[in-house]
Amino acid sequence: MSLTVLTSAYRLRSVFRLQRIQSHMMSSHADPEVLLEKVGRAGVITMNRPKVLNALNFTMIRQIYPQLKKWEKDNETDIVIIKGAGGKAFCAGGDIRAVTEAGKAGDSLAQDFFREEYILNNTIGAYRKPYIALIDGITMGGGVGLSVHGRFRVATEKTLFAMPETAIGLFPDVGGGYFLPRLQGKLGLFLALTGFRLKGRDVQRAGLATHFVESKKIPDLEKELVDMKSPSAEDVSRVLDSYQKQSSLDSEKPFVLDRHMSDIDRLFSASSVEGIMQNLKADGSEFAKKQAEILSKMSPMSMKITYKQLQAGAALSLPDVLVMEYRLSQACMRGCDFYEGVRAVLVDKGHNPKWNPSTLEEVSDHSVDQCFSSLGEKDLTF
């Protein structure tokens, strides 16, 4: 083949590649990843990546945070509503594949993503105007961080809540160390270690949502909220209460963990993760056997970090918990289980990670304590 033909072919390929990149950019441009709108006197945030269940990426964090700050100061904005597009998910979590790729490459996204996500979580927790999260669909990990710290969280029958991080070598971050130990009894530790999924009305019964409203009523609820004139938090609360009263779906069903709550409190009140595992194995009930089996698949390092995180977080403010969690996030970026968990669960989808260390007994207290050490001037600050 002549040099001219090769050059032409190469040029043609380059043109096609450029066109592909441009069309990708145009399609991204046509579909913003997050919509920030003013509707009446309400600021409305819509996470708009339905094909990936509205996974939260760095670009979205960088758009949501300044807008929240702006609306908080704006006299024309009374409330903020946050929701997800597409009908399946509120937000299924953070874009952690991008974070692990960055970690492998030594890119600063591995620090920046967690830092700015946690600053956003804290902003939501301290927000001075009514903040209403419509968690109508899958709400996990990073999606929990965008909702649970807000004043109002509205679950529907489509809500699916979980903090599944121990399965990927991480820990329940985004303020999990704050809200999980404040749930009833040992429920928070149970959810944190097992990644147990709560659905629908149970998300409210567990204390993670403030209200339950049937999914079909959400558009009317949203319209009523945006039409309100200078509402106070109490006014918003009254509207949400009235919609909740009209939503009787599944109200007769007991809380999914109702009959297990006393077992959870008893089995999960050991003074270590090893103690919890011993309790579960010794108990012999079907429920205990199932939990022991689930925990045996989780990262031993992650479980020990999580146990200590919730123990410490029970006595800390949200900002102090987030400072602690930022240290833990960076410890996970320095370790190996997070990369291995993401590979096994999200990339290869074989769900057969090779944890290192592979047993709880091999994880020393010293190695866990090191994860909580100050990062000095690299610590998270607000």
Q: How confident is the model at residue 349, as a pLDDT?
A: 87
Fold of 34-378: 2-enoyl-CoA Hydratase; Chain A, domain 1 (3.90.226)
Catalytic annotation, residues: 94, 142, 165, 173
When mean pLDDT is compared across 5-19, 37-51, 70-84, 204-218, the lowest value belongs to: 5-19
Separation CA 174–CA 325 (nearest Å): 8
CB count in 10 Å sphere of residue 31: 13
Q: Indicate the SS3 state at residue 42.
A: strand
pLDDT category of residue 350 using cuts at 50, 70 and 90: confident
Q: Alpha carbon of 355 to those of 97, 104, 196, 296, 335: distances in Å? A: 18, 17, 20, 11, 11
* pLDDT tens-digit series, residues 331-348: 999 999 999 999 999 999
Q: Is residue 27 scored above 70 in pLDDT?
A: no
Q: How confident is the model at residue 351, as a pLDDT?
A: 81
| Residue 180 φ then ψ, to 5° | -70, -45
Q: What strand order describes the sheet that includes 42-47?
A: 34-39, 42-47, 79-84, 131-135, 152-155, 211-212
Separation CA 290–CA 365 (nearest Å): 27
The answer to whether the CB of 300 falls within 8 A of the CB of 292 is no
Q: Is residue 9 scored above 70 in pLDDT?
A: no
Tell me the CB-side half-sphere exposure of residue 57, using CA atoms within 13 A. 13
* For range 271-297, the mean pLDDT: 97
* For range 156-179, the mean pLDDT: 98
**Total residue length of the chain:** 382
For the chain, domain boundaries: 34-378
- Bridge-based pairing of strands 160-162 and 152-155 is unpaired
List, as own/partner pairs, every contact residues 378-382 make where C-beta atoms lie below 8 angstroms and the sequence separation is at least 24, other chains included.
Answer: 378/111, 378/330, 379/323, 379/326, 379/327, 380/115, 380/118, 380/119, 380/322, 380/323, 380/326, 380/327, 381/323, 382/119, 382/122, 382/319, 382/322
Separation CA 207–CA 205 (nearest Å): 5
Tokens 């928070």 sit at which residue? 188
* pLDDT tens-digit series, residues 80-111: 999 999 999 999 999 999 999 999 999 999 99
| Residue 231 φ then ψ, to 5° | -75, 145
Separation CA 81–CA 72 (nearest Å): 13
Q: Alpha carbon of 296 to those of 70, 186, 273, 355: distances in Å? A: 46, 19, 11, 11
* For range 256-279, the mean pLDDT: 98
Tokens 């009317």 sit at which residue? 220
Query: What's the whole-number average pLDDT of the chain?
Result: 93
